[in-house]
Amino acid sequence: MASPSDPSKQNVVRKQNKGAPIKFLVPLIYAPVLPLIRLTLRHRPVLRDRLFTGVLAGAFAHGLYLVTDIYDIESK
């Protein structure tokens, strides 16, 4: 049986923690999309407004998920 201080298991944990979690990089995707929606769909205002509202609602939902996830971790 491997002991809790087994070096092979410690290396696995270190490899998993490399890099930023993708959930914190998602705003880098949807932040530039919002102005592009407004610019490219200016001749179709109904579609533009619905798509913009949908992406913005998704952004707020993602932010709410991140905040509640942080509070959940702190409460434990």
- The tens digit of pLDDT for each residue in 10-63 reads 555 555 666 668 888 888 988 999 999 999 999 999 999 999 999 999 999 999
Structural domain span for residue 63 = 20-75
Supply the pLDDT for residue 33.
Answer: 92
According to the model, what pLDDT value does residue 67 have?
87
Does residue 29 belong to any structural domain of this protein?
yes
What's the structural domain count of the chain? 1
Domain annotation covers residue 12: no
Spell out the alpha helix ranges (H) of 1-76: 7-16, 22-25, 27-40, 45-75
pLDDT at 19: 66
Q: Is residue 61 part of a domain?
A: yes
Is residue 6, in this structure, part of any structural domain at all? Answer: no
One-letter amino acid identity for 39? L
* 8 Å CB contact between 34 and 55: yes
Between 70 and 33, the more confident residue is 33
**What radius of gyration do the chain's Cα atoms show?**
20
* C-alpha distances in Å from residue 57, one per residue of 4, 29, 50: 44, 15, 10
pTM attached to this predicted model: 0.65
